[in-house]
Amino acid sequence: MRALILNCTLKASPEPSNTEALLEVVAEGLRSDGIDVDTVRIVDHDVKPGVTNLVVLLGATAAQAVLGPKVRVTRDRGQVLPAHDELPYDTLVTIHPSAVLRTKPPERDVAFDALVRDLRVAAQHSEP
């Protein structure tokens, strides 16, 4: 299995990014499960809008911006929500990686495992 992590920091390379540090924690967890991981810092590329079959929404701010105020990360996470008339792509809600880092051990391991589980759902949904 392969995973592509898109870093949406506004800081261009090689400027340090806190987002990069958080994503590396997730990437290492995926790698430890035998998943090949690549990361791309979006700001370093001229990325045009395109077609996707799934958008992963990291955290409540992203989820509510796209899906509206009724979405709840704790309730809706980890399940693919199908596209509809107002939203032309499937979505998956999960926690933001920084929420994992803010969680104290041993709950941090549980939160991390749940994030990885959600991202696996996203990866499986995106497989051809």
Which residue would you say has higher pLDDT here, 9 or 68? 68
Looking at the domain 51-128, which fold is it?
Uracil-DNA Glycosylase, subunit E (3.40.470)
Q: Where in the chain is the domain with CATH 3.40.470.10?
A: 51-128
Give the mean model confidence (pLDDT) for residues 17-22.
88
pLDDT at 51 over 60: no
Residue 61 has pLDDT above 70, yes or no: yes
pLDDT band at 106 (very low <50, low <70, confident <90, very high): very high
* DSSP-derived pairing of the beta strands 80-81 and 2-7: unpaired
pLDDT computed for residue 125 by the predictor: 85
Question: What pLDDT band is residue 43 in, cutting at 50, 70 and 90?
Answer: confident
Q: Which residues of 93-111 are buried (b: 16+ CB within 10 A; e: fewer)?
A: bbbbbebbeeeeeeeeeeb
39-67 burial, b if ≥16 CB within 10 A, otherwise e? eebeeeeeeeeeeeebbbbbbbebbbeeb
pLDDT score of 82 more than 70: yes
Q: Is the model's pTM score more than 0.85?
A: no
31 has a pLDDT exceeding 80: yes
pLDDT confidence of residue 12: 86
